[in-house]
């Protein structure tokens, strides 16, 4: 069995450790109006390399500290300043980790006036019927004629939804408000598939989804699944609220002799 590797402990260079004034002067020059606080100690970085730590008194850098690294050449009597940086301490207030824009964008973030470019390699899309990725390139006359024909048929899109794009959309819609798993559907009189205001989507997504055309529904103008539902279903009719008339009153008084207006 191999013996574990021994970790070599770096001993602080005494000449570098004693050069507190040199380190402070370097920190004050770099800090400017931010200021330099009390000396917090040293850290041995390597042979003849020592870092001096100073507090930062500025209120905007609570918990941060100045680190001044001193290096001494072999057989030299005095060290030199190698680096001065402001570093966060264990209790420092830090900003959140930077996240690339492509990972920060969320559904619904594209609002009026904003443009969101679609990546050429977007896996949700695939080449359409106009030549796909080569549609903008110079092409022979046959391809130009083909493009005219498909444009007249309404197929003139360079990219269309891929199978993966359709599956992602269907999964997202079914799991969100347009799907069946929500309180409005559970309390609905019936599902959208049997509603007169339900307009099916075209293409393969039309087997599961459509659009609501009821102005009084909260889903008006939105995609809904066939098993979604709301209280504005077309089968909901108003109750007959006509008031029931009272029973007729019959005259039961009888006269023994006929009477006239002149009596």
Residue 3 lies in a domain: no
* Of 251 and 78, the one with more pLDDT: 78
* Of 132 and 152, the one with more pLDDT: 152
Within 8 A by CB and 6+ apart from 9, the residues are none
146 & 177 share domain: no
Most confident of 86-100, 115-129, 162-176, 238-252: 162-176
45 has a pLDDT exceeding 50: yes
Instruction: Report DSSP letters for 32-65, one per residue.
Output: GGG----EEEEEEEETTEEEEEEE---GGGTTEE
* Of 262 and 234, the one with more pLDDT: 234
Which of 42-51, 94-103, 181-190, 200-209 shows the lowest per-residue confidence on average (mean pLDDT)?
A: 94-103
How many distinct structural domains can be found in the chain?
A: 3
Residue 205 lies in a domain: yes
Instruction: Show the tokens assigned to 58.
Output: 């500025």
Residue 135 lies in a domain: yes
Check residue 161 and give its pLDDT.
84
Percent of the chain residues past pLDDT 90, beyond the cut: 47
77 & 126 share domain: no
Residue 7 lies in a domain: no
Give 64-73 contacts, CB < 8 A, sequence gap 24+.
64/88, 64/89, 64/92, 65/40, 65/89, 66/27, 66/30, 66/31, 66/36, 68/23, 68/24, 68/26, 68/27, 69/45, 70/16, 70/19, 70/22, 70/23, 71/16, 72/13, 72/15, 72/16, 72/48, 73/48
Q: Across all residues in the chain, what is the average pLDDT?
A: 82
Residue 243 lies in a domain: no
178 & 215 share domain: yes
* Of 232 and 257, the one with more pLDDT: 232
Residue 194 lies in a domain: yes
Place of tokens 């300043």: 81
Residue 252 lies in a domain: no
Task: Write out pLDDT tens, residues 199-216.
Answer: 999 888 999 999 999 999
- Segment 140-168 shows an average pLDDT of 70
72 & 136 share domain: no
Task: Write out pLDDT tens, residues 59-87.
Answer: 888 899 999 999 999 888 999 999 999 99
Residues spanned by the domain of 53: 14-88
pLDDT band at 132 (very low <50, low <70, confident <90, very high): very low
Check residue 133 and give its pLDDT.
43
23 & 72 share domain: yes
84 & 19 share domain: yes
Whole-model pTM: value is 0.48
Place of tokens 């390699």: 121
pLDDT band at 252 (very low <50, low <70, confident <90, very high): low
69 & 42 share domain: yes
229, 189 Cβ separation under 8 angstroms? yes
Residue 96 lies in a domain: no
55, 84 Cβ separation under 8 angstroms? no
Task: Write out pLDDT tens, residues 83-98.
Answer: 999 999 888 888 888 8
pLDDT band at 235 (very low <50, low <70, confident <90, very high): confident
Place of tokens 């966060």: 88
178, 219 Cβ separation under 8 angstroms? yes
């Amino acid at each position: 069995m191999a013996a574990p590797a021994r970790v070599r402990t770096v001993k602080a260079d005494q000449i570098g450790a004693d050069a507190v004034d040199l380190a402070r002067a370097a920190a004050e020059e770099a800090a400017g109006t931010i200021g330099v606080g009390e000396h917090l100690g040293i850290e041995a970085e390597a042979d003849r390399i020592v870092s001096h730590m100073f507090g930062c008194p500025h209120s905007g850098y609570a918990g941060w500290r100045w680190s001044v690294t001193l290096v001494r050449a072999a057989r030299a009597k005095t060290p030199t300043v190698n680096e001065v940086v402001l570093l966060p301490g264990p209790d420092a207030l830090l900003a959140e980790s930077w996240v690339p824009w492509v990972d920060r964008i969320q559904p619904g973030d594209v609002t009026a006036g904003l443009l969101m470019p679609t990546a050429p390699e977007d896996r949700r899309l695939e080449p359409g019927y106009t030549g796909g990725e080569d549609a903008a390139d110079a092409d022979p006359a046959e391809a130009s004629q083909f493009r005219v024909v498909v444009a007249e048929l309404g197929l003139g899109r360079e990219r269309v939804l891929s199978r993966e794009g359709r599956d992602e959309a269907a999964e997202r819609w079914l799991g969100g408000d347009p799907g069946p798993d929500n309180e409005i559907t559970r309390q609905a009189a019936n599902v959208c598939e049997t509603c007169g205001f339900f307009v099916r989507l075209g293409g393969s997504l039309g087997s599961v989804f459509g659009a609501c055309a009821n102005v009084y529904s909260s889903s008006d103008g939105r995609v809904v699944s066939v098993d979604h539902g709301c209280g504005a279903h077309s089968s909901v009719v108003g109750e007959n609220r006509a008031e029931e008339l009272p029973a007729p009153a019959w005259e039961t008084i009888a006269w023994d002799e006929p009477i006239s207006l002149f009596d």
